[in-house]
Amino acid sequence: MSGVMERTLAILERLALDVNGVPLATLADELNIPRSAAHRLLLELTEHGYVRQSRERGDYMLTTKLVSLGLNYLKTSGIIDLCQPVLDRLAASSGELVRLGVVDVDHLTWVAKAQGATYGLRYDPDMGIDARLSCTSSGLAWLATLSDDDALQVVAREGGLGKPEQYGPNAPATPTALLKVLAQVRKLGYALTVETYSPGVTAVAVAVVPPGRGAVGVVTISGPLVRLTEDKMRALVPELQSAAADLAAASAASPLFNRAYSSESAPAH
């Protein structure tokens, strides 16, 4: 790996995966960066407040500065104030996790959520990460708003369909299978998945599409298969579609949604 910027971003992304810190040697080896260069970059990141070194073992870890930047960005975007009441209502009525993903060129990133499960099993993954497009209900709901060619190009840039063992047993394993799923999503108007992203997890999603515009986001209900069955998901679709319509109507007031629109949700070339 070469280039100061590329190396710096790679270090930040790797540290974000381990809250307990990562040794210098591990960072250098995993990212294929000379240890001396990795050490210099870590020192600079430390000086600027993005990284700190643990006193016990000397491992490097992120500070909360990046988190603060992200939260401040979401706050100034207005998306939380606009969308949280809609997500809260849907979570309360469904009793499951509700999330909002925002389209950013050819990525779909979770930016807000509401947890409706108050007891028993709770599905509650991390926020701020990109949804895997080819095997999540949110990704499929968005891809279905694109043409087949554009959808396949976006998935290819994401790294393809991946290996079967990386996702759930029902994830589309070939481009043909993926296009068949997308055709069904377009027909139904929503994406329903059962153990495609992860074993034991189900989800249903609807794209947020303002009138006359491309998709700017996706709203999703997800939970454990033992509770969120296919029948229950289908029963929740009208409420989910109503929430998506409310979010579409509110999207014009958020710069974050407008940025998604400025790219027309089209793949970058």
Separation between Cα atoms, residue 223 and residue 238, nearest integer Å: 18
**Looking at the domain covering 71-262, what would its CATH class be?**
alpha beta
**Could you tell me the pTM of the whole model?**
0.72
Question: What are the residue boundaries of the structural domains of the chain, listed by start?
Answer: 4-63, 71-262
Intrachain domains 4-63 and 71-262 with the same fold: no
What CATH number belongs to 4-63? 1.10.10.10
pLDDT (tens digit per residue) in 105-139: 788 888 889 998 876 665 655 555 677 899 999 99
**Alpha-carbon distance values, 132 to 78, 102, 141, 151 (Å):** 25, 13, 12, 13
Confidence of residue 193 (pLDDT cuts 50, 70, 90): very high
Residue 44 in this model has a pLDDT that exceeds 70: yes
Separation between Cα atoms, residue 113 and residue 102, nearest integer Å: 12
Which pLDDT score is estimated for 256?
59
Which pLDDT score is estimated for 264?
47
